[in-house]
Chains A and B, each alone.
Chain A
Amino acid sequence: MLRSVPGPVQSIERAAAILRLLARGSGRLGVSEIAGSLGLARGTAHGILRTLHGVGFVEQDGETGKYRLGAALLHLGTSYLDVNELRSRAINWADALAARSGEAVRIGTPLDGKVLVVHHVFRPDDTLQTLDVGALLPAHATALGKVLLAYDAGAAAALTGQLEPFTRRTKTVPRDLAKALAEVRDMGWAAEMEEMTVGEAGVAAPIRGQGGLVVGAMGVSGAVERICGPGGRPNPTLVTYVRDAARAVSRDLGASRW
């Protein structure tokens, strides 16, 4: 394979120019005005605008057809997918995962270095269980948290010093955790082996949104003897169920490649 430092990508440069243009002055421009200002063919400008529209960076006025900066740009720093919307979009697949695996399902999103439980489906055995939605879990000691950390370099780097131990098996040394997170990225899923609660294990996989960005994690957890096979590793069938469910949600959210 020929390796060379790739040059700038022309369409991204043009997209940036369009955004700068819209950020100026009245902030409302038609396709022709934009094409004219930047010396682009109308079709080219239109194609870029449609893509920017698709990711929410520009919005189009229903009446005049003119473009302006999109709301998504203002929220770039915060989570772009509302957690309640994530629950709505995932609820069918979370139910199916619980039914298939026979275990409780949780969906988590990152919040202040922890995992916010945004959805919880009971283990389907009709025993008394309590909804966990709104609870905060430690990121380094849960499968959900490890998935979120594995795909967010910034959050992982923020974990320094001794990490809080919950059991003998909690990974408390950042270097050990970093190794585990690299494995999560390699495998595409994370496991939790009695690291949070003795006797409990879990498996989780990433939920991706548009462009592949990880917006949450979805997983099952339960008694270690049910989650793990004889070798002490998570049951491969269970792992497949979890990954398939997370992928189905990702597909619904518009992550095309997963």
Chain B
Amino acid sequence: MVERYVMSVDQGTTSTRCILFDHAGRLVSVTQREHKQHFPKPGWVEHDAMEIWRNLERIAPEAVAQAGATPDQVAALGIANQRETTVLWDRHTGRPIGHAVVWQDTRTDRLVDELAAHPRADMVLERCGLPLATYFSAPRVRWMLDNRPGLRERAERGDVLFGTMESWLIWNLTGGPEGGLHITDVTNASRTLLMNLTTLDWDDELLTFFGVPRAMLPRIRPSTETYGTARQVLPGVRIAAALGDQQAALFGQTCFAPGEAKCTYGTGAFLLLNTGNEPVRSTHGLLTTVGYQIGDEPAVYALEGSIAITGALVQWFRDGLGIISSAPEIETLARTVDDNGGCYIVPAFSGLFTPYWRSEARGVIVGLTSYITKGHLARAVLEATGWQTREVVDAMNADSGLALKALKVDGGMTADNLLMQLIADVLNVPVIRPMAAETVSLGAAYAAGLAVGYWPDLEGLRRNWHRAAQWLPAMDPARRAVEFGNWHRAVERTFDWIKPDG
């Protein structure tokens, strides 16, 4: 019998990855390509959506070839994507309108302040479960429509389409200008500020509030469902799932029961807790979001703690400062010293997300003395991820009234042993990595495989989960308390940096 596989596409912030998985959820082949990060002004972050599409065109067939397979052996394709990143494109030519505006981009801060002053602004949190912040898509769409003459009229006529990355890729895969499907899934739609969390549909009042024409929006579909068949790249392959990358990781970690949680460490880090079929409201700065929706079953909701910058700080150390030549060298450098030497880095590059939600904050390095070496800085880089995790976990514990007993982790940064030990130390709970570091991809594959019957049920998927590594806390409690106090003082120094009038 010929072996069949499920393919995942993980369209991330820094790269796009294609992976083939077999029935046991084991990785069979993997291809990856980075795309360019455009930083045209301070606080602006853009991607070229066409470059990302071309990357996919190239790496998807490569992944099939690497496995020694043919496209007819691919039972289904599932997509996970960087969330909130906003693409507008011309329905007739298939060309993107300018660059995609990335989730880290803060150009809409002024606009967000204006919108927040509106008497009906409370409706946003109430209906979407999300605070009004530069992080989400709707203000970006509005900004793009406001800043390009004639664009609003074209959008109102339905000539210009909006989508996050999964919409853009699915539209292209299913034919583009020749009948491409214009859809999104509930998890991605739940990050736009335009979807009502209880009806799971676009909300007219929110559309009016943000000034976004309905004609440009994709149709909202469940996360797992056979949406259609690819006509490009892998013709004939069923496209059967789409989820935001963080939700995909929740799925890949098989956190299917209420109370189960995971944290994914990539460009940023995101802790998601499954809360079952009810959206739970946070009083500690967590987001309420859709975890996934399987076919026509009721949606599963999640509480989310979002950290904008974790791996991106390492990336900045590499690309912005040139102190290291590859991301993993941060660990090598950090191990040249025993502690941070009194130095703290708070990477509020895009403001601070959970639990602060301060768009006007900007990054700081504090505690500098002549004693500080690049080793101490490297350590402070990793510690920043540790303490930010601690703040998010504290918020989660406060909201749920339960103390987290262990943290399940995944993502590229989990290859960093020093970091994983640090996280166990600052949380004072074990940190557990499953036997699939690429959990985002695995989740997208699981979702697609479920939709087409490649995997029968969630229980079967659970049995594939195994512990690959575990780090136990080993930090002196007194030291933990002192360091956490220092971290807080460092965080306070990031506040109020950007003034309201620029």
Contact = CB atoms under 8 A, between A and B. Distances in A.
Nearest to A125: B466
A88 B327 contact: yes
B468 A96 contact: no
B415 A88 contact: yes
- Interface residue SS majority, chain B: mixed
Contacts of B435: 95, 98-99, 121-122, 124
A84 B332 contact: yes
Question: Which has the most chain A C-beta neighbours within 10 Å: B24, B25, B468, B469?
Answer: B468
A120 B469 contact: yes
A100 interface: yes
Contacts of B468: 95, 98, 121-122, 124
Contacts of B417: 84, 87, 131, 133-134
Contact of A88 (B26, B412, B469, B470): B412
A82 B329 contact: yes
B337 interface: no
A98 B415 CA distance: 16
A18 to B, nearest CB: 22
A40 to B, nearest CB: 30
B439 to A, nearest CB: 10
B438 interface: yes
B467 interface: yes
Contact-size category for B: 20 to 34
B466 A99 contact: yes
Interface string B413-440: 0111100000000000000000111100
Nearest to A118: B417
Q: Which of A95, A122, A133 has the most CB of B within 10 A?
A: A95
Interface residues of A, number: 25
B326 A85 contact: yes
A253 interface: no
B24 A131 contact: no
A32 B342 CA distance: 50
B406 to A, nearest CB: 13
Contact of A95 (B325, B436, B470): B436
Nearest to B25: A99
Nearest to A132: B469
A42 B49 CA distance: 38
Interface of A: 71, 82-85, 87-88, 91-93, 95-96, 98-100, 120-122, 124-126, 129, 131, 133-134
Interface of B: 24-28, 30, 325-332, 412, 414-417, 435-438, 466-471
Given A95-B436, A98-B435, A122-B467, 9 more contacts: A71-B325, A84-B416, A84-B417, A88-B328, A91-B415, A92-B438, A95-B27, A96-B28, A121-B435
Top 3 closest A-B pairs, CB basis? A124-B466, A84-B328, A88-B415
